[in-house]
A = this chain, B = another copy of it.
């Protein structure tokens, strides 16, 4: 659930994160941005099935999108630009999940278990985007790598301010909150990568993954509670 939305077609603003797209207006034409989307989807599929985004060739992506190589340049100057657009889109979907979670009041009793479960489902539903980010985070071109790094940093900061709202942590200073958020993010990314390598339908292994991730989060929380109060 809550994941189907990303299958719909988005126009504009993916590749121009800071509003330099051609003044969004008049988008009644259903053909608008169609090829652009086809290119991005082609790249995502190729990354999911084959190895690397960096290893993808412009021609291959164009071919998979059902378009001649030269048409690529009508939408992106570069393969790097396509990659940046994908980074932007990927984190847009993640941010959306976070927004949904924040606006939902969860029963405190089983908050951890359920958080893990919905997160895992979310990763699997958006596997292509997460796969892309996981693969390019370290091996991508410098531009893509720093873009991803920045997004993660931002995400960590947001989580830190979320944490600051818990009354139990109100004695923890800002730097330590950031450090705890980093701890959580580290283990979330690790969990993400494990989920991506999960065999398609193995509920047993999935259950084990959930239980482990939940316990790890629990250890972190226990540690955070004991922090500066020994």
Residue with the highest number of chain B CB atoms closer than 10 Å, among A176, A186, A224: A186
Q: How large is the interface on A (under 10, 10 to 19, 20 to 34, 35 or more residues)?
A: 35 or more
Name A183-227 residues within 8 Å CB distance of B.
Answer: 183, 186-187, 189-190, 193, 197, 212, 215-216, 218-227
> In chain B, what residue has the closest Cβ to A224?
B219
Name A108-159 residues within 8 Å CB distance of B.
Answer: 134-141, 149
What are 14 A-B pairs with beta-carbon distances under 8 A? A51-B54, A51-B141, A52-B54, A54-B54, A55-B55, A135-B138, A135-B139, A136-B139, A138-B138, A138-B139, A179-B212, A179-B216, A222-B230, A223-B223
Which A residues are within 8 Å of any B CB, using their own CB? Answer: 51-52, 54-55, 134-141, 149, 176, 179-180, 182-183, 186-187, 189-190, 193, 197, 212, 215-216, 218-227, 230
